[in-house]
Chains A and B, each alone.
Chain A
Amino acid sequence: MKTFRAIASVVVTIAALAIAGARPATAADSIDPDADFKAFRDYFTKRFPNVPLNDFVNGPYSMDAELRKQWQAIDDFPPYDFAIDRGKQMFATPFKNGKTYGDCFPDNGVGIRQNYPYFDLQSGEVITLELALNRCRETNGEEPYSYVKDEMASLTAYMAFTSRGKPFDIKIPNDPRALAAYQKGEEYFYTRRGQLNFSCASCHVQNPGNHIRTEVLAPALGIVAAMPIYRSEWNSMGTMSRRLVTCNSQVRGVPLKPQDELYRDVEYYLSYMSNGLPVSGPGARP
Chain B
Amino acid sequence: MRPRLKSAQAAILAGLLLGAMLGADAQGQALPGQVLPGQALAFDRSKGNCLTCHDIKGGDAPGNLGPQLADMKAWFPDRKELTAIVFDETKRNPRTVMPPFGRNLILTDGEIEAIVDFLYTR
Residue A16 CB within 8 A of the other chain = no
* B interface bracket (residues with beta carbon within 8 Å of A): 10 to 19
CA distance A72 to B116 in the complex (A): 43
Of chain B, the residue at the smallest CB distance from A198 is B97
Stretch at the interface among B8-16, B75-83, B99-107: B99-107
Residue A73 CB within 8 A of the other chain = no
Q: Are B97 and A202 in contact (CB under 8 A)?
A: yes
Q: Are B63 and A195 in contact (CB under 8 A)?
A: no
Q: How far is the CB of A70 from chain B (nearest CB, A)?
A: 16
Q: How far is the CB of A85 from chain B (nearest CB, A)?
A: 35
Residue A206 CB within 8 A of the other chain = yes
Known: A202-B97, A211-B65. A195 touches B105 (CB 8 A): yes
Q: Are A213 and B104 in contact (CB under 8 A)?
A: no
Q: Are A210 and B63 in contact (CB under 8 A)?
A: yes
Of chain B, the residue at the smallest CB distance from A203 is B97
B-side contacts of A214, CB under 8 Å: 61, 63
Of chain A, the residue at the smallest CB distance from B89 is A197
Residue A207 CB within 8 A of the other chain = yes
B-side contacts of A198, CB under 8 Å: 97, 99
Residue B90 CB within 8 A of the other chain = yes
Known: A212-B52, A213-B52. A196 touches B64 (CB 8 A): no
B-side contacts of A212, CB under 8 Å: 52-53, 63, 65
A-side contacts of B95, CB under 8 Å: 7, 10, 206
Contact residues, B65-112 vs A (CB, 8 A): 65, 90, 95, 97, 99-100, 104-106
Contact residues, A191-231 vs B (CB, 8 A): 195-198, 202-203, 206-207, 210-215
23 CB < 8 A contacts A-B: A10-B95, A195-B99, A195-B104, A195-B105, A195-B106, A197-B90, A197-B97, A197-B104, A198-B97, A198-B99, A202-B97, A206-B97, A207-B97, A210-B64, A210-B65, A211-B62, A211-B63, A211-B64, A212-B53, A212-B65, A213-B63, A214-B61, A214-B63
